[in-house]
Amino acid sequence: MSQKTKAAPKVEAAKSQKQTQSSPNSNAAQRDRILTALRKGPLTTLQARSELDTLHPAARVQELRADGHLITTVWTWDFGASGFPHRVARYVLTPEVSV
């Protein structure tokens, strides 16, 4: 039996489990973590991945923008865990103005 065949049932089982609002890794939970971090200051893609356990920060930021949050992307360089430089997004939240 190939390695691919052995892994398939596990992958399918994981896909079949629905993420709920209470799941710590649901899209909503990831958006909440990112928004909380952005309210404290800028956040890079690498920070979101390593510190906030968000593997696809760009998608969560796009969803936050769709919800009306003004988030600017500034391209910058940062170093990954292995020490190599990467061009990454630095997300900056424009504070909401109270009227």
Mean pLDDT, range 48-58, rounded to an integer: 96
Residues forming a β-bridge with 90:
44, 74
Burial class (CB in 10 A: 0-12, 13-18, 19+), 74: exposed
From residue 47, give the alpha-carbon distance in Å to each of 10, 15, 87, 97.
Answer: 29, 26, 13, 26
Residue 7 lies in a domain: no
Residue 51 lies in a domain: yes
User: Which runs of consecutive H residues, i.e. helices, occur in the chain?
Assistant: 3-16, 27-40, 45-52, 57-66
**How much is the pLDDT for 10?**
52
| CATH code (residue 34) | 1.10.10.10
pTM for the model stands at 0.75
Domain range for 97: 27-99
Spatial separation of the C-alpha atoms in residues 61 and 92, rounded to whole Å: 10
User: What percentage of the chain has pLDDT greater than the value 70?
Assistant: 77
Count: domains in the chain: 1
Binned at pLDDT 50, 70 and 90, residue 6 comes out as low
For residue 21 the two structure tokens come to 């609002």
Mean pLDDT, range 25-30, rounded to an integer: 95
